[in-house]
Structure 1
Amino acid sequence: MKQPKVLIMMSTYNGERYIKEQMDSLIAQVQVETQIYIRDDGSTDSTIEKLRPYVEAYPDRIHFRSEDNLGVIRSFFELIRSSPPTFDYYAFCDQDDVWEQDKLIRAVTLLKTKSSAIPLLYCSSTQMVDQHLNALGVWPKVPQKPLELHNALVENSCVGCTMVMNDITFNQVRSNLPSELSKVIMHDWWIFLYVTIFGEVIFDEQPGIQYRQHEGNVLGGGRDGWIQKWRKRVNRFVNGNNHYILSKQAKLFLDMYKYSLTHAQIEEIRNLLHCLEKNVIDRIWYAFKTPFYRQSLLDNIVLKLVIIAGKL
């Protein structure tokens, strides 16, 4: 039986400490035919030297290029833009995790249970580990609320390094890449948003990767207790780090796909954006009746507070 062809897209940047373990786990994937496209985002350590033996050992499977530093979002979108539209499935990959041998075939098997005529996206929980691969806990839990527009516009419920998409998702996103990447919060969030609206997301409660938590993570997992989470959110808000990022991405998405969205979807997105122009009393009223939601009670409260503050 012909094995499904999967393209793994990995962006690297100063990942010398853990890149070998990740590459070994990618090479070891079973029951799928894989190729690995790696874009190094201007590493200044020995990442490239660590990758060279793999490129030389697997010249037909590993495609590597070293380019200028663009940052994680632009680097992954560049991978999407430059990858060939000839594979059955496409997966994102971080540089410092370890994949279980059946990570890809499990994702493919679940994706095959759905209609192949629509955009599909697989994502899963992760087994969080410390820098030495000691288990810390499983995160995130299975979402209890629907993964659809009202969630995806204000929260990314899928961990990017677990994502596997079908060819329709990849090709549709690739053919209409975001026009202003500075307004995209993360590459994986953009694709999650696209699929929740135009296709279907599959969330697997079984972890397929060991998700390493260490001081060099671009984005960490869910180890923090509720006090730490509140403290971090307050600090980010006070520092203005997250001001208007949701509204900027939502407006960009609306501008790009308004001719594909339903009238009801357009009106709800516009209502969310227009609430920022209203006075605080109207924002309070909208925050309590808004159809948009996040998965956890804590994050949902934060969302309402951000709306009330007018900093969505």
Structure 2
Amino acid sequence: MISVCMATYNGQDFVIRQLESIIKQLDTNDQILIVDDRSTDNTVKLIREHYGDRVEIHINETNSGPIKSFEKAISLAIGDFIFLSDQDDIWENGKVAKVQNAFQDPDVMLVTHDAYVVDGNLKIIELSWNTFNNNDIEQGLFGNIIKNAYTGCMMAFRKELKPLILPFPDSIEMHDQWIALVCMIERKKIVHISEPLMKYVRHGGNVTAIKRRSLTTQLKGRIGTIQAILSHKKKH
């Protein structure tokens, strides 16, 4: 069984398009779970109108941000395999099957893949997100503390990872980086599929849009990540 975990916030313009690309790849017993971060538009209404009980929606009591929203979604996931999804992308046909094929190896804990980078009109900007963002998937633990090469919406992992990654430490910068780092710390097998398996939409409104951060902010984030790693090692 698969659980797809999505966090939404004011996504009425594109969330149905994304859900359509996902649902056609799932079995009827697979779980689609959305945590909405107090949208002020018609996101929740549209999803309920289109899908009824097929899509499970949980609304945050307060606006909590993407990390807390994904933490909640993952904690509620009941599937053997958990796929993370943003609200505004489009999954390519065959994404689920190709990721599940990688999980045929019982030692594989985390699967990642590449993506096409497209603008708001779905015009391809770059054939590879990893090239576009200078991601080095092979750079290891220290390299991923300095620059995260993992993108949550291009991840899937086994349910066995949940007790190792949850709850997300308050000091981490992003959930996707934390999930990858925990896999490295715990020496879990990670497989990367080089094929682009989705359209990654960069229209300027994304919650995780690329932003220039001050050196102080970057340093604070890295220190927080290191603190979370050290704390994890003590607990496990």
Could you tell me which of 67, 92, 117 is aligned with 1:73? 67
Cα displacement (A) at 1:154? 2.4
Letter in 1 for 2:209: G
Could you tell me which of 139, 143, 149 is aligned with 1:151? 143
Residue of structure 2 equivalent to 1:284: none
Residue of structure 1 equivalent to 2:123: 134
Q: Tell me the SS of whatever aligns to 2:30.
A: strand
Q: Distance in 2 between matches of 1:255 and 1:144?
A: 26
Mark the CA change 1:207 to 1:33 in structure 2 (over 3 Å): closer, same or farther.
farther
Q: Distance in 2 between matches of 1:81 and 1:30?
A: 20
In the TM superposition, what whole-angstrom CA distance separates every residue of 1:101-139 from its partner, at most 9, and x where no partner exists?
2111111111223526xxx11111111111111111121
Q: Tell me the SS of whatever aligns to 1:45.
A: coil
Q: Tell me the SS of whatever aligns to 2:40.
A: coil
Q: Distance in 2 between matches of 1:258 and 1:196?
A: 16
**Is 1:213 paired with 2:202?**
yes
Residue of structure 2 equivalent to 1:201: 190
Residue of structure 1 equivalent to 2:36: 40
Residue of structure 2 equivalent to 1:310: none
Q: Is the 2:90–2:200 contact (alpha carbons within 8 Å) kept by the matching residues of 1? A: yes
Q: Tell me the SS of whatever aligns to 1:203.
A: strand
After the TM superposition, which segments of 4 or more aligned residues of structure 1 sit over 4 Å from their partners?
Answer: 30-33, 142-145
TM-score by structure 2 length? 0.88
1:1-312 equivalent positions in 2, closer than 5 A: 5-29=1-25, 34-56=30-52, 59=53, 61-67=54-60, 68-84=62-78, 87-115=79-107, 120-137=109-126, 138-141=128-131, 146-174=138-166, 177-178=167-168, 180-181=169-170, 183-198=171-186, 199-220=188-209, 233=212, 236-237=213-214, 240-258=216-234, 260=236
How many pairs does the alignment contain?
A: 231
In the TM superposition, what whole-angstrom CA distance separates every residue of 1:28-87 from its partner, at most 9, and x where no partner exists?
11579521011110000111121112331xx2x421122221111111112122333xx2
Cα displacement (A) at 1:170? 2.6
Q: Tell me the SS of whatever aligns to 2:161.
A: helix
TM-score by structure 1 length? 0.68
Q: Tell me the SS of whatever aligns to 1:8.
A: strand
Q: Distance in 2 between matches of 1:51 and 1:79?
A: 16
**Structure 1 unaligned runs (5+)?**
222-231, 261-312
Q: Distance in 1 between matches of 2:184 and 2:69?
A: 23
Q: Tell me the SS of whatever aligns to 2:110.
A: strand
Q: Distance in 2 between matches of 1:162 and 1:33?
A: 22
